[in-house]
Structure 1
Amino acid sequence: MTGSGSVGGERKSGSAWAPLRHRTFRTLWTAQLGSNVGTWMQTVGAQWMLVRQPHAAALTSAVQAASLLPVLFLSLPGGVLADVVNRKTMLVWLAASMAAVCGALTALTSAGLATPAVLLALTFLLGCGQALMNPAWQAIQPELVPREEIPAASALGSLNVNAARAVGPAVAGLLIAVAGTRVVFGINALSFVGICFAVATWRRQSTTVGEAEHMRPALAAGTRYVRAAPGVRRILLRAALFVVPASALWGLLPVVARVRLGLGSGGYGLLLGALGVGAVAGAAFMKPATAALGRNRLLALSSLVFAAGGAAAVWLTQPLAVAVVLVPTGVGWLWALSTFNTALQLTLPAWVRARGLAVYLIVFMGGQGVGSLLWGAVAAWLTPTGGVVIASALLALTTATLASWPLPASLGTLDREVVAPWPEPSLVLDPDPDDGPVVVEVVYLLDGEREPAFLEAMTAVERSRRRTGALRWTLLRDSEDVSRWVEVFEVASWSEHLRQHTSRTTGADAEAMRTAADLSRTPPQVRHLVPARTPTPVVASMVAE
């Protein structure tokens, strides 16, 4: 989840806390904080129920895996739903469903029926709900804060999660010791009820442009966008290289706390609280750190700090020393997460934002779930300490790849607002929305000296066409008239091509197309070729796009 707010009447502010001035942002952020506290309390309760079981390292890692692995197969459908249905309604129903699952777990625990299998199964169901909810929750953020406040809102979203980590585990440890795990499970159920009420009070403005997409083509459009967006793919790669080794500390810390440090549930909660305190402190310095170092250096620093902190935490034997070390480790975690989230929020256009964020969640949370299972197996083979140390060394090695695979330098500089630069096609035929495939030809006439610049410009045009719907794209040259160049791309249906006209082309896409068009001696001429259904000619009239 991330924070959210309202944009009306606010002016640009350099404050890291500026999004909290928006009433809706503040309301949802507070409700999210309560839900995140409840989720962390539940996580501690579930792990502590299993920590005394045989094969405790594998079982406690399985709790984290059960909550995170559903993103691998549900996050992208959740992102599609969030882009094609009302996000407010979707969030209310999902929060209500998760409250019901938490209520069932509370009842079963009170009746003594929460076996490890039942616990993991219900944790898995909660993970399914989170996998469906998270893309929608993250996608509403840019609806509700000005674009210049997105980095601050993203940092506040990460702060929310980590502030909850500072409070939830410590409170859970005390409550478990006094009243048992059923109490923390019940509090988590109530926290989702709070989400329902908070979202229901949000007066959302309509953001729909044209007819809503159908699920199957919307799913294809989302995955196609990611494939054709090198900047998005690079962010996903960096997230995976960070989270798989970083997940070892989260999955194995409860076993380290009990076996190596001899702590009870309260002590384990305090260790998680130290990580959360570090994250809260990191949020306060996120903006100046980014300004001073840049995103790539900040990501390198945060990764190395987390790696060193994780290794030190499992080697030390004094609980106080471990808690002190975990504070800067929490700073590193917050800075890395905020960097990834801000990068995606600034890169993705509104029409595909939830789907793009869903892919990110698949990579990040799915990677954390897979990593938890992996490092649980390593810990069972060696020791929990050995597993975390190996993971920390791997994280340091992956950080070195930032020199070759940095985050895109263009982050935040491209215009991602949706525009409609093309005129409506003027056609002889009237294709049905589902008619397809549709082939579009764009003819350019070039002077020889402009060819190198044109070829460079068409690289950006190709990426734009593929991101917005093109299944295939090619650039051809007329062998009889060497000044004549023909761009040809195929779209799945007429409705898909109309979405290129009305709701998928961003300001950056339009600029790329203008750059190429300006190199032509005459305005580019466009033809739309549709499937032959009648003897009527299928060639559309010439219209510049």
Structure 2
Amino acid sequence: MLSNIGTWMHDVGAGWLMTSLSPSPMFVALVQTAGALPVFLLSLLAGALADTMDRRKLLLMVQIAMGVIALALGLVVWFGLTTPWVLLGFTLLMGIGTALSAPAWQAIVPSLVPRPSLQQAIATNSVGINVSRAIGPALAGVLITSIGVAIPFFVNAVSFIVVVAALIWWKPPAAAEKRLPREQLFHAMRAGVRFALHSKPLKSTLVRAVAFFLFASAYWALLPVIVRQVLQGGALLYGIILGCVGAGAVIGAMVLPPLRKKLGPDRSVMAGTLGTAFTLVVFAVVPHPVVAGAFSFLAGASWIMVLTSLNVSAQVALPDWVRARGLAIFVTVFFGSMTAGSMIWGQTAVRAGVPAALLIAAAGSVVAMLLTRKAKLQLGADLDLAPSMHWPEPLIDQ
């Protein structure tokens, strides 16, 4: 959570810095694209790495590298050397780090809790992420206003020390000794894709993920422009709005489980989609900071309802031997949808205006929800896809 505070501060700093370097909505939306594109391109490779090597060591190496990159960006901004393309380049590097670590982070969750507690564990993890989302943006807004836009990047660099220390302290349970050679990387990637192509529970989850994230990305991609151009606000208001989103997500994670249990995963995703669409409409037609802050709570609660339902659906569809690769495919679809959506809505805002882009995204999300409602979630909850081990142990040539 402490490290995620630094990450959210970094995101706020990058988005707000771009609005001062280039007022074009397209360039502002490209900040999210640069962060999401590497995850879309590299997640499957990262998932194969996480399934074929020590996940803890992989995470340690990547987190140290990301800390160095964050520090370098802070120095570049501090000395006034930033251009729009330099900022996008550093954002791309941070996105590569996120891509290499995301499948491993998700894959270790089932090793921390028993299977019946998986949904609660994912929700708890989401609470931590969204507590940091509530704190980080608001803190970034205060620091940018009072000290300078470089400070969030320095804080983010320091925050990586926390997560590196946690990984060093964590001692994962001893894995069973493997007598077979380690799976080859590209063969592992091919096996992961083959599993995804033949897994109906995973395919249904991916279809529903595209239907939501492609249109929900309009909110995240255009929010800096909404604050600066539509709401006529500054960095502090931007941080407060994001903080309201995080607070809404935290409250949602705490009060929505009974509702999710009553509705089930499919209707929960539909309810979250409708909440997101309603928020986009309000942002488009009521340009008032107080109203925007209030409905950002709804946006956060809707986001956490959909994200948790989709994440649990992906987790229960996957056995451990292919878990990181399957989750990498889920992450690829997630960030691919966010990347494509950011580019689409940024260009739409340039041509038709920000309010029109938000209204089109809201309508599209409702239509996509209706078209994909037959793709059911959590179909793999009752399946045991672990190897049966009914065959004799192979003889190994020493």
TM-score tier by shorter-chain length is over 0.9
Secondary structure at the counterpart of residue 181 of structure 1: coil
Q: After TM superposition, list the pairs within 5 Å mapping 1:18-417 onto structure 2.
A: 33-208=1-176, 209-211=178-180, 212-408=182-378, 410-417=379-386
Paired with 2:289 and 2:311, the residues of 1 have a C-alpha distance of 32
Compared CA separation, residues 296 and 135, structure 1 to 2 (3 A): same
CA deviation map 1:61-104 (0-9, x unaligned):
11111111101221111100100000010101100000000011
Partners of 1:274 and 1:155 in 2: CA distance? 18
Distance 1:117 1:144, change over 3 A: same
Whether the 8 Å contact between 2:179 and 2:396 is mirrored in structure 1 is no
Match of 2:390 in 1: 421
Displacement of 1:432 = 8.5
> Partners of 1:431 and 1:274 in 2: how far apart?
58
Supply the AA of the counterpart residue of 1:148. Answer: P
- Asked if 1 retains the 8 angstrom alpha-carbon contact of 2:266 and 2:376, the reply is yes
Deviation at 1:386, TM superposition (A): 1.0
**CA deviation map 1:30-64 (0-9, x unaligned):** xxx12211111111111111213444311111111
* Cα displacement string for residues 379-403 of structure 1 (whole angstroms, at most 9, x for unaligned residues): 0011111111100110011111243
Deviations 1:143-196 (A, max 9, x none): 111111100111122222222221111110110001111111001001112111
Partners of 2:188 and 2:372 lie apart in 1 by 33
Q: CA deviation at 1:207?
A: 2.3
- Superposed CA deviations along residues 205-248 of structure 1, whole A, max 9, x for unmatched, are 23254432111211111111111111111101110111000000
Secondary structure in structure 1 of the residue aligned to 2:150: helix
Mapped to 1, the partners of 2:121 and 2:321 lie a distance apart of 20
Looking at structure 2, the residues matched to 399 and 35 of structure 1 have their Cα atoms a distance apart, in angstroms, of: 34
Q: Structure 1 residue 424: deviation in Å?
A: 4.7
Paired residues of 1:176 and 1:265 also in contact (CA < 8 A): yes
Gaps of 5+ in 1: 1-32, 434-545
- Secondary structure class of the residue paired with 1:70: helix
Q: What one-letter code is carried by the residue in structure 2 that aligns with 1:257?
A: V
| Counterpart residue type for residue 49 of structure 2 | L
Q: Which amino acid aligns with 1:97?
A: A
Letter in 2 for 1:144: L
One-letter identity of the residue aligned with 1:293: L
- Aligned partners of 2:283 and 2:355 also within 8 Å: no
Q: TM-score normalised to the size of structure 1?
A: 0.70
Matched AA of 1:150: L
CA RMSD in angstroms, aligned pairs only: 1.7
Alignment check: 8 A CA contact 1:300 1:402 kept = no
CA contact (8 A) 1:36 1:164 kept: yes
Higher RCO by CA contacts (8 Å cutoff, separation 6 or greater): 2
Change (3 A) 1:431 1:190: closer
Q: Is the 8 A contact 1:296 1:402 kept in 2?
A: no
- Alignment-mate amino acid for residue 137 of structure 1: W
Provide the rounded CA distance (Å) in 1 between the counterparts of 2:179 and 2:211: 39
**Alignment check: 8 A CA contact 2:78 2:150 kept:** yes
After TM superposition, the score normalised by the length of structure 2 is 0.96
SS at match of 2:384: coil
Q: How far apart in 2 are the matches of 1:195 and 1:54?
A: 33
Alpha-carbon spacing, 1:286–1:420, altered in 2? closer, same or farther (3 Å): farther
Deviations 1:254-273 (A, max 9, x none): 11111111110000111111
Considering fraction of residues, name the structure with more strand.
Answer: 1
Conserved 8 A contact 1:347-1:411 = yes
Mapped contact 2:24–2:350 kept (Cα < 8 A)? no
Identity of aligned residues (%): 36
Deviation at 1:283, TM superposition (A): 0.2
Pairwise CA distance, 1:417: 4.0
394-403 or 196-205, which moves further after superposition? 394-403
Structure number, greater radius of gyration:
1
Q: Distance in 2 between matches of 1:58 and 1:359?
A: 27
Higher helix share: 2
CA contact (8 A) 1:313 1:326 kept: no
- Alpha-carbon contact 2:321-2:386 (below 8 Å) kept: no
Give the Cα–Cα distance (whole angstroms) in 2 for the partners of residues 224 and 395 of structure 1: 29
> Secondary structure of the residue that 1:227 maps to in structure 2?
helix
SS of 1:194's partner is: helix
CA distance in 2 between counterparts of 1:280 and 1:314 reads: 25
Q: Distance in 1 between matches of 2:236 and 2:202?
A: 41
